[in-house]
Structure 1
Amino acid sequence: MNRKISVGMAVSIVILAMTVTFSITMLVAMRLFDSTVSSVKEKESMYNKIAEVDRYVRSNDYYQIDETTLYDRLTAGYLLGTGDKYARYYTASAYTDLMNAQNGTLLGIGVELAVDQSGYAKVTKVYDESPAKEAGITVGCYITAVDGTDVKSLSGVDAIQTRLRGESGTSVNVTWLDSEATEHTVDLTHSGYSTTTVDFQMLQGNVGYIKIRQFDASTPSELDYAIRSLSTNNALSLVFDLRDNGGGLLDDALSCIDLVAPEGTLAYAEDQNGTRTVLGSSTGDSYVSLPMVCLVNGNTASAAELFASSLRTLNGARLVGTTTMGKGTIQSSPQRLSDGSAVVITVAKLICGDGSCFDGTGLSVDVDRPLTADEQTAYYDYTVENDPQIQRAVSTAQQMSGTTTVSGVNEAASSEAASDSTAADSAAAEAASSEAAASSETAAESAASSEETASSTAE
């Protein structure tokens, strides 16, 4: 039986639907309003608290407030409070120095440094035609003071390098010790020199060794030249040394991966909602089919970890060394503020092309080769020829290419023997620990029994 809806009923239904829709819309709007009000109230409470502290301090504090320092530390403290461990605040002067260093206005003296157990800055590389080279500073020298300030009082390599920088034509006073511990002090005038991020050479067994210190705008072309040169000289395998490579510019690292990887997706950026955006892909046009090894350590981070992970996934590379740092996040470019300062914050998580993420965990290695305590002490004294981790990486590359040399076999056997010895020592220590624990447990039970007996007697 067909039923006909009257005009009046239709109008009523439409009005009812409009009423329900309006009610839902108002409910959502009210909830959003309540959320906004709550957020505003929380912010007001925070600012009121700061203002309250400010009023009290200004009324009672004995010390004079440096307004610039106060504002800088307030901003830095805010970023610290967000829980973003990679967020960074640059004061106006620090941001200016950063920009000047990037555009070449601010120059160093032409050295790479590392602070070893002595606390002084050991020179690990000297660039050609640099002020340091002309002054006679060589690899292995120690910089002990900058402008009369003992480098032991400075907080790490970055602080020392900052002290060494200056505009072209200005000078810095540097004190250093040469290989015979003779002290030298001289004023070095800042002048231009060429820097590189990639070093390479051919090692025994036709293993091409490539050291990548960081990724920046010049790295892709330098890496391309290194690979081509080694290939021309009949390299049968490649070792990429990424130890102590803290990353650098992600886009340039992606370009470097594209130089060797087959076609495929290289990385994604994942926002806080889980939405992924492709960061880069490899065309496969310059695919390198040679066996590869990536040498890594706990200071291999960010873009360098992506490079190693991508080569393992796409090229079948093996990772040698120790677990990497585990920094799988993406930071913004410095956001300049109105007073000339700037902030950097984390904007996304870095996801590898295969969907994995090493953030917080690092990359585990295929061949574990940590440094012993003695080897760690001598770390900056090693050369490419006698560095034990490089030797292990080279022997692994030779095994992959089927060209293992006698020395490679001996080194591998030596490493395995050292590992077995370490394992044996650990087992012995564990056994001793278990025996001691058992002894302690027996003693504890005996003591408990005596205590219980004593208690019974007392009762």
Structure 2
Amino acid sequence: MRKMLKKTVVTAVLASTVIGLTGCGTSGVFSGTLSGKTGSSTKITYDGNLLDADVFDKTEKIESIIDNYYYNDIDDDTIREGIYKGIMESLDDPYAQYYTKEEYAKLQEDDSGEYAGIGVTVSKDEDTGYVRAVNILEGAPAEKVDIQPDDIIVQIDDHEITTDDDLDYLVSLIRGDAGTDVTLKIYRERDKAYHDVTITREIVEYSTVSSFMIDDKIGYVRITQFIDNTDELFQKAVEELKNEGMQALMIDVRSDPGGMLTTVVNICDYLLPEGTIVSIKDKTGKVVDEYKSTDDEYLDMPMVVLTNEYSASASEILTSALKEFGAATVVGKNTYGKGIVQSVIPLGDGTAIKLTTQKYFTHDDNDIHKKGVAPDIEVDLPDDYTYEDFQGKNDSQYQKGIEVLKEKLK
């Protein structure tokens, strides 16, 4: 077995690259001087294009008005944090975010596959702001209450979700110490009704890969997210299925929100012959990273990939690579269309910012952002489909995948 690539988090719906900066002054992001203080106001001068004298003069006027006329008490630190957040919110970037020390600390969860939480994978629609449950982990606390895939989460304890909320931060609110409770307000579209569910957090061992033999020739592997050890779990599952006589493989990434870039690259390297898997370009169009599969090994058998509208980011890298290499038939629905990379950049004082820094392009140099990956065979789920139908006779996408593989095996 080939040596694994070093793990690198790029982004998906739930993960981000961390770039280290040595400090504001030396990074070229900001430099300025404090030239004096009068009363409670700090006079700042800055020689730059964005934060020029006019901006500081206007800021000083606003501060003076607040000091003299605002009825309620103010907290200087809260106002400063609001200024930083405002800068990030002014960008035309739904993923841009400023993290306070407390927020950034909560985000630094290990992606090793174990955490204290409820066992729900969530995804955010950046157009509507809806946060949906897309997967319920088998055996997790969430499985014991009335929450289902496609439910919209509108409130976490006392926090009402808005379109401005960062998904990573919302995930950190759902997670917490084992033994504590979290209450989610859920809206179920097909019932047109709200209801609350209270879930006790537990230590969740998050196995992102499940597998079984569909029949004596066709194997099935589902990936629910690409975290640190998903590539190892995937390869182990496939090897076990091969030992059971597998001659064709169905890979299910429906409702997989993505995850770590190097994890999905390792899986593609295991499945595909030599070639470019994905390339990363900056805003000038320059290729800054290119990830390729080697010719050490590849899976030489018929494959199908199942997708839906919630298959995003790393899922789309896998899907596009298998499709464009001609290694698999894609069955299901057009994928989400998340082809951009976010970076979390620490600011040196315990805070951080996140913003879109790069875009990735597929094997055939396609830009899939806001477009997604189109299936080779489009299949809708039936109107009466429910969560309980998954992998069953009423799961038309799953059944079509079996049909395609059986035809390939003839």
User: Structure 1 length as normaliser, TM-score?
Assistant: 0.64
> Shift of the alpha carbon at 1:198?
1.0
Task: Determine the structure 2 residue equivalent to 1:381.
Answer: 388
Query: Which residue of the partner structure matches residue 242 of structure 2?
Result: 231
Instruction: Using the TM superposition, give the Cα deviation of residue 139 of structure 1 relative to its aligned residue in structure 2, in angstroms.
Output: 6.1
Residue 353 (structure 1) aligns with: 363
Say whether residues 1:74 and 2:86 are aligned partners: no
Indicate yes or no: 2:275 matched with 1:264: yes
Deviation at 1:74, TM superposition (A): 2.6
Aligned ranges for residues 415-454 of structure 1 at < 5 Å?
A: none
1:243 correspondence with 2:235 = no
* Correspondence for 2:101 among 76, 92, 95: 92
**Residue equivalent to 1:65:** 74
Asked whether the equivalents of residues 272 and 327 of structure 2 are also in contact (C-alpha less than 8 Å), the reply is no
1:251 Cα deviation after fit: 1.3
The aligned counterpart of 1:25 is none
Cα gap change, 1:151 to 1:331, in 2 (>3 Å) = same
How far apart are the structure 2 equivalents of 1:264 and 1:78? Answer: 41
2:317 equivalent among 306, 313, 318:
306
2:48 to 37, 40, 51: 40
Bigger share in strand: 2
Percent identity over the alignment? 25
Q: Which residue of 2 aligns with 1:167?
A: 177
Where does structure 2 lack aligned partners over 5 or more consecutive residues? Answer: 1-45, 125-129, 186-194
* Amino acid of the structure 2 residue aligned with 1:395: E
Contact (CA 8 Å) 1:123, 1:141: kept in 2 or not?
Answer: no
Tell me if the contact between 1:292 and 1:315 (Cα under 8 Å) persists in the aligned partners.
Answer: no
2:284 paired with 1:273 = yes
Change (3 A) 1:277 1:152: closer
Cα pair 2:113 2:227 within 8 Å, conserved: no
Q: Check whether the contact 2:146–2:197 (CA below 8 A) recurs between aligned residues.
A: no
- Whether contact under 8 Å (2:226, 2:259) holds in the other structure is yes
2:408 aligned with 1:400, yes or no?
yes
CA distance in 1, matches of 2:181, 2:254: 30
The Cα RMSD (Å) is: 3.9
Alignment of 1:40-189 (within 5 A): 40-44=48-52, 45-102=54-111, 107-110=116-119, 125-126=136-137, 132=141, 138=143, 141-142=146-147, 162-167=172-177, 170-172=179-181, 188=200
Contact 1:124 1:140 in 2 (8 A): no
| Amino acid corresponding to residue 394 of structure 1 in structure 2 | I
Change (3 A) 1:388 1:139: farther
User: Which runs of 5 or more structure 1 residues have no equivalent in the other structure?
Assistant: 1-37, 177-182, 403-459
Distance 1:313 1:165, change over 3 A: same
CA-CA distance at 1:216 after TM superposition: 1.3
2:350 aligned partner: 340
In 1, distance between residues paired with 2:292 and 2:177?
A: 39
In 2, Cα distance between the equivalents of 1:365 and 1:87? Answer: 30
What is the CA distance between 1:125 and its match in structure 2? 3.7
Q: Contact conserved, 2:321 with 2:362, CA < 8 A, in 1?
A: yes
Q: Does 1:371 align with 2:378?
A: no
1:172-199 superposed Cα distances (whole Å, 9 cap, x missing partner): 37799xxxxxx99999474x45221111
CA contact (8 A) 1:124 1:139 kept: no
Structure 1 position 105, deviation (Å):
8.9
Distance of aligned partners of 1:391 and 1:265 in 2 relative to their CA distance in 1, 3 Å threshold: same
The alignment of Structure 1 onto Structure 2 pairs a total of residues equal to 343
Q: Which has the higher contact order (CA 8 A, sep 6+)?
A: 2
Larger radius of gyration: 1
**SS across alignment from 1:167:** coil
Provide the rounded CA distance (Å) in 1 between the counterparts of 2:131 and 2:353: 31
Deviation at 1:66, TM superposition (A): 4.0
Question: Any idea what the Cα deviations from partners look like across 1:275-322, whole Å, max 9, x if unmatched?
Answer: 113431111323001111111122212121111000112243111112
1-structure distance, mates of 2:398, 2:79: 48
Query: Distance between the aligned counterparts of 1:362 and 1:122, measured in 2?
Result: 20
Moved more, 215-224 or 294-303: 294-303
Q: 1:84 and 1:250 mapped to 2: Cα distance?
A: 21
**381 and 267 in structure 1: CA distance in 2 versus 1, 3 angstrom threshold:** same
Residue 329 of structure 1 contacts residue 346 of structure 1 at CA under 8 Å; is this kept in 2? Answer: yes
Higher helix share: 1
Shift of residue 63, structure 1, vs aligned partner: 3.2
Instruction: Look up the equivalent residue of 1:380 and give its one-letter code.
Output: Y
What is the letter of the counterpart of residue 402 of structure 2?
V
Structure 2 residue 219 is the aligned partner of structure 1 residue 211: no
Residue 251 of structure 2 aligns to a residue in which SS?
A: strand
What whole-Å deviation, never above 9, does each CA across 1:377-399 have from its counterpart, x for those lacking one? Answer: x4423221232221222222222
Letter in 1 for 2:387: Y
TM-aligned CA deviation for residue 367 of structure 1: 0.8
Give, in whole Å, the separation in 2 of the partners of 1:320 and 1:238.
Answer: 13
Q: Give 1:294's match in structure 2, choosing from 300, 305, 312.
A: 305
